Structure 1
Amino acid sequence: MSSRSLKVMPKLVSAELPQTYTVSPEQLQFYADNGYLVIKELIDFTSLYSYKQRFVQICKGIVDRGSIRFIKEPSLVGAGAKGEDAVNKIQDILFDDVFSQYIENPRLLHVVSQLIPGDTKKIEDVSLTAMHTMFINKPPGTGRHPPHQDLYYFPFRPAHKIVAAWTAVDHVHLKNGSLYVVPGSHKLNKLYAHGNVKDQNKPLYHGILEEDSAAPMNKRVHLDMSPGDTVLFHPLLVHGSGPNVTERHRKSISCHYANGECYYVDVAGSVQAPIAEEIVATANKLGLSNATMQDVFKFRSKHVKGTRSNL
Structure 2
Amino acid sequence: MTSYKYTKNNKALNDQQREFYEENGYIIIRNNVPHDLIDEFCSRFTDLCENRVPLVKPTVVIKDKSLKNQGYTGQYAVNKIHDFLNDDVLSKYAFYPAVADVVESIIGPNFMGVYSMLINKPPNGHPDISNHPLHQDMCYFPFRPIDTIVGTWTAMEDANEMNGCLFAIPGSHRPGVIYNHVYPNQEVKNQLYYGVQGFENEPRVNFIMEKGDTLFFHPLLLHGSGVNRSKASRKAISVHFADTNSFFIDIKGTPHEKPWEELQPVFKMDYIAICKLKGRHIRGNKGTFHYPSHL
Partner of 1:233: 217
Deviates further, 261-270 or 196-205: 196-205
- What is the aligned counterpart of 2:164 among 173, 177, 182? 177
For residues 66-215 of structure 1, the aligned pairs below 5 Å read 66-67=56-57, 68-117=59-108, 126-142=109-125, 143-199=130-186, 201-208=189-196, 210=197, 213-214=198-199
Q: What is the CA-CA distance between 1:217 and the residue it aligns to? A: 5.0
Find the aligned partners of 1:57 and 1:83 in 2 and give their Cα distance: 9
3, 12, 23: which one aligns with 1:22: 12
User: 2:50 matched to 1:60?
Assistant: yes
Post-superposition CA distance 1:237-279 (Å, at most 9, x none): 0000001011111011000000123111111111221101011
**Is 1:294 aligned with 2:252?**
no
CA-to-aligned-CA distance 1:262-302 (integer Å, 9 cap, x gap): 11111111122110101112212xxxxxx111110011100
Q: Determine the C-alpha separation between the residues in 2 that align with 1:298 and 1:224.
A: 33
1:141 shift after superposition: 2.8
Shift of 1:188: 1.2
- Give the Cα separation in 2 of the matches to 1:81 and 1:198: 27
Q: Offset of 1:137 from its aligned partner?
A: 1.1
Task: Give the 4+ runs in structure 1 shifted more than 3 A.
Answer: none
Check conservation: 2:11, 2:104, Cα contact below 8 A: no
Residues 11, 105 of structure 2: 8 Å contact kept: no
Deviations 1:75-94 (A, max 9, x none): 21222221111111100111
Counterpart for residue 253 of structure 1: 237
Question: Could you tell me how far apart the structure 1 residues matched to 2:192 and 2:63 are?
Answer: 12
Kindly provide the CA deviation profile for residues 35-59 of structure 1, in whole angstroms up to 9, marking residues without a partner as x: 0000000101110100000000111
**Which residue of structure 1 lines up, in the alignment, with residue 263 of structure 2?**
279
Residue 218 of structure 1: how far off its partner (Å): 5.1
TM-score (norm. length: structure 1): 0.85
Note the C-alpha offset of 1:115.
0.7
- Per-residue CA deviation, residues 71-119 of structure 1 (Å, 9 max, x unaligned), is 21122122222111111110011111111111111221111000112xx
- How far residue 234 of structure 1 moved from its aligned partner, in angstroms, is 0.3
The residue number in structure 2 matching 1:35 is 25
Which structure 2 segments of 5+ residues have no match? 1-9, 290-295
Aligned residue type for 2:36: T
Q: Is the 8 A contact 1:195 1:274 kept in 2?
A: no
**Aligned mates of 1:266, 1:138 — CA distance in 2:** 34
The more displaced of 263-272 and 22-31 is: 263-272
Q: Secondary structure at the match of 1:167?
A: strand
SS of residue in 1 equivalent to 2:250: coil
> For residues 3-48 of structure 1, what are the alpha-carbon distances to aligned partners after superposition, in whole Å with 9 as ceiling and x for unaligned?
xxxxxxxxxxxxxxxxx97211000010010000000001011101
**C-alpha separation in 1, matches of 2:233 and 2:180:** 31
Partner Cα distance (1:183, 1:233) in 2: 10
Aligned-residue offset at 1:62: 1.1
Distance between the aligned counterparts of 1:44 and 1:58, measured in 2?
A: 22
Counterpart secondary structure, 1:251: strand
**Secondary structure, aligned partner of 2:139:** helix
